[in-house]
Structure 1
């Protein structure tokens, strides 16, 4: 277990995120912040980066209108972006940060970006999940 793992854990706890699962061997956390709309968010310490990733919804079929809307919204997201999984079916939020220089403010900014995205874009996300 690296010092980065403990550093990230301390930051998450200071930011009042609930750690619902922790895997020391894999150096990852599953966290939630119900007040911010965040559930089952993975925070994975993969030296030299930390990966922040969460499932937003699954696509039932390919839809170019949804892809276009997500790409256009990516331009407005402060930190992180929409991404597709390797099968192109799951729409994820994903951000990566440098572990070596990571501070609590930087992690908080990334998490706040996701919270803002969820609050501003939730109706569209819900409608996309139903198509």
Structure 2
């Protein structure tokens, strides 16, 4: 286990996230926080960066209109962005942070951004997942 892994774990616990899974060898966590809408979020210490990624929905039917809307929404997200997985069928939230100087406020900002995204755009995300 690296010092970064331990630091990230302590930040997650301080922010009251539940660690669902933890892999010290791969230095990653799967977390959730009750009442926030955040579930099965992957937090991966890939020195020199911390990758935060979570599945939002699967694309039922690819359309230019859907992808345009997602790109427009990206402009409004404070930290992180909508991204597609390598198959182009899953929409994820993703952010990366530098591990070397990571602090609690920085990680909290990203996680709060995701929580805000989920609360403000919940109905649109549900609509997107139906298209």
Question: For this structure pair, what is the TM-score category when the shorter chain's length is used for normalisation?
Answer: over 0.9
Q: Secondary structure at the match of 2:121?
A: helix
Could you tell me which residue of structure 1 aligns to residue 66 of structure 2? 66
Structure 2 regions of 5+ residues with no counterpart? none
Mapped partners of 2:28, 2:65: distance in 1: 34
Could you tell me which residue of structure 2 aligns to residue 122 of structure 1? 122
Deviations 1:51-104 (A, max 9, x none): 000000001121111101110010010000000000100000000000000000
Q: Secondary structure at the match of 1:83?
A: strand
- Is 1:18 the counterpart of 2:10? The answer is no
Name the count of aligned residue pairs.
131
Deviation at residue 130 of structure 1 after TM alignment: 1.3
Q: Secondary structure at the match of 2:127?
A: helix
Deviation at residue 45 of structure 1 after TM alignment: 0.2
Instruction: Output the TM-score relative to the length of structure 1.
Output: 0.99
Could you tell me which residue of structure 1 aligns to residue 105 of structure 2? 105
Mapped partners of 2:73, 2:116: distance in 1: 12
Deviations 1:20-53 (A, max 9, x none): 0000110000000121100000000000000000
Could you tell me which residue of structure 1 aligns to residue 5 of structure 2? 5
Which 4+ stretches in 1 moved above 3 angstroms?
none
RMSD over aligned Cα atoms: 0.5
Could you tell me which residue of structure 1 aligns to residue 40 of structure 2? 40
